[in-house]
Each structure stands twice: as C-alpha cells, then as structure tokens.
Amino acid sequence: MDTKNMKMISCKEVLANLSSYVDEEVSEELRQVLEEHIAWCRRCRVVFDTTGRMVKLVLDSEPFEVPLAVSARLYTRLEEVLSEN
Amino acid sequence: MGEGDSVNSGEIGAGQDDFALVQRVLAGDHRCFESLVRRHERRVFRVALAVLGNIEDAEDAMQETFIKAFRHLQQFRGESRFTTWLTRIAVNEALQKRQARRDMVSFDDSREAGEKPLPQRFEPWTADPEQLYGKQEIRRLVETAIQALAPIYRQVLVLRDVEEMSAEEAAEALGIKVPALKSRLLRARLMLRESLGAALEEPRPLGTRIVHSAVRMRNMMKMVLTRAAGR
C-alpha cells in the first residue's frame, strides 16, 4: 500500500491491512498510519485488538489433538508397512 | 523450538534435524522414520482434518500421507523444509479423499464470495477468557469455531495460525499463490473473530442491554403495526 501523503485512511483500507498488522508484516510508516486510525476509531480498535488476541488464543489453545486410538492405529499400520520394506 | 528438535530425548535420532533423519531412513535405518512420524503426526492430522472436516477421514488421510512419504522419501531433496514437503503430501491426500466423496456430501468451497460483510461485532472481549471458561473449554470453543469455517478458510487458518507456517510455506503446501492465501487468511480470521466474539465479549452493562431491548421491541411493534395497517 502506498502510504505517501496518507494521513487519513478509511476503515475499509485499515481492515484490508489487519492481517498484515497482526503478523507484524507492515512497514513502519503504514503501522503508524494504522495506529493513528485505531487511536480515534473505536470500532477498528476493537477489531484489531480482538483479532490479535484471537490469533494468540488459537495458538495457545493447541486445538485438535490426535486421539490416542487414532495415533495407535497409525503406528500399527506403519509397523506393517515398514516391515514389508 | 525449531523444526527437527526432538521433544523426547529418548527417541531414536533425538537431537538430529529432519533432513538428517531422512538420510538415515534412506540409508536403511527405518526406525528413524518413526521419529519423523512422532514429530509431525499432529501437524499432518490437523491439516487432514482442516481439509476433510471429520476425524475418520482425517485418520485415513494421515495414514496414507505417512505411507506415501515413506515410499517416496528419496524424492525429498531438502530444497524446502521437510515440514512443507510432508504438508503438501497431506493436503493432496486429503483433497483426493474429498474428491472421492464429493458426490456423497455437499461442499461449501464455493462460499468464498457472498458471505455477510465483516466485521459485525464491535464489543471488546473479556480481559481473561481462560478465567471465564478454563483451558479445556477454550480449546473446545476454538475447535468448534474453526470446524464451522468453510474448508478453504479452515485450511489457511490452520496452517498459519495453528501450525505457524509462513505465508510462503502455507501457500506452497496448499498449491495456491501467496496473495490468495493472505486474502483467505484475513477472511478466515475475521469470521473466526465473529464466531468467538459471541462467547468472549465482555458482558454489556445492564443499562445498555435494557436500551437495546427497548429499541428492538419498538422496531418490532412498528413492523407489526405497519403490517396491520396495510391489511
């Protein structure tokens, strides 16, 4: 995104950069522009804050464990295959 | 912990990276393959589940992935990370499996366009969700919300936000371009935020809820009266 002379940007443009911002993949200049926007725009501030927290929550919750029975059947099957080779 | 670091120090090949383990398997030490499986089984399972949406099919795809990886191990030349190579196999196995059952189940990949405009929820979240729900319940909430996403969004979200693959690696594993991956990821995150927001938003003060209920009631009355007047 071209950030020259871009002091004010719309919520739509801010939202388009949400993921990159959360992943810390935006330029310093764009980061400042986005942060200026979210400082005065309550809605975008909530969306940015909750999205950042959500990404962390998803990672920390360690979803989708392999069920023990599924894991056990995998090793049994692999043992068969490996012993054939 | 980087790729190839071993979780269990008693494991065969502990401390060796994936590439070294692959070389040992190729040299005939098949026990090292089990170490590779232990390191990557969870990722392969999650990826298969993200594509297929149910545990039974994900189990089949996971088994086929590791068998195929073992039989074609000589094709892994270390140009990309072993993780990426293996994930690509898992994605392909799962996609093939899904293709095979396509006539049995209705699919929602075509939902890429046309969903409700996002975002729609603008209330802050409670400060400490784990205090409110506990770790197990949070995991269940996250799993349910991810499972409810359409497969194209679920896949990118799992690779990026659960498996922490880079955008480039995730795009390579899914066989799509990086801009497409990024655009799907944004949408996936926004949808998941909406879904989790329902459980994690701060409870609104009673006064605000009363005002909102009164407004809803007034609108409903207005609608009813308008309809009645039109008869």
Place of tokens 């998803």: A58
Report CB contact under 8 Å: A78, B34.
yes
Please give the residue range of the domain that contains residue A70. 11-84
Beta bridge partners of B201: B125
Its ipTM equals 0.89
- Confirm whether A73 is domain-assigned: yes
Query: Phi first, then psi: what are they for A75, rounded to 5°?
Result: -70, -35
pLDDT of residue B206: 65
B139 interface with A at CB cutoff 8 Å: yes
Cα A45 to its chain centre, rounded Å, is 16
For residue B5, pLDDT beyond 70: no
- Confirm whether A6 is domain-assigned: no
Of residues B41, B70, B190, nearest to A71 (C-beta): B41
Q: Which residues of B touch A63 (CB under 8 A)?
A: 46, 139, 142-143, 146, 162
| Cα gap B138→B130, rounded to integer Å | 7
- Confirm whether A2 is domain-assigned: no
User: What is the tens place of the pLDDT at every residue in B108-142?
Assistant: 554 554 555 689 999 999 998 888 899 999 999 99
User: What is the tens place of the pLDDT at every residue in B162-174?
Assistant: 999 999 999 999 9
How many domains, chain A? 1
Of residues A54, A64, A75, nearest to B46 (C-beta): A64
Report CB contact under 8 Å: B143, A63.
yes
Sorted by sequence, the CB contacts under 8 Å of residue B100 that are 6+ apart come out as none
SS3 B33: helix
CATH 1.10.1740.10 positions along chain B are 18-107
Nearest to B119 by CA among B199, B202, B189: B189
Taking CA–CA distances from A49, the nearest residue in chain B reads B124
Identify the weakest region by mean pLDDT among B5-14, B138-147, B160-169: B5-14
Exposure of B2 by Cβ count < 10 A (0-12 exposed, 13-18 middle, 19+ buried)? exposed
Domain range B18-107, CATH class: mainly alpha
Give the pair of three-digit tokens for residue A56: 């962390």
B11 interface with A at CB cutoff 8 Å: no
Report CB contact under 8 Å: A43, B55.
no
pLDDT of residue B227: 73
Exposure of B185 by Cβ count < 10 A (0-12 exposed, 13-18 middle, 19+ buried)? buried
- Confirm whether A70 is domain-assigned: yes
Q: Which residues of A touch B143 (CB under 8 A)?
A: 61, 63-64
By the 8 A CB rule, do B34 and A53 touch?
A: no
Sequence length of chain A is 85
A15 interface with B at CB cutoff 8 Å: yes
For residue A68, pLDDT beyond 80: yes
What CATH number should be reported for the domain whose range is B110-200?
1.10.10.10
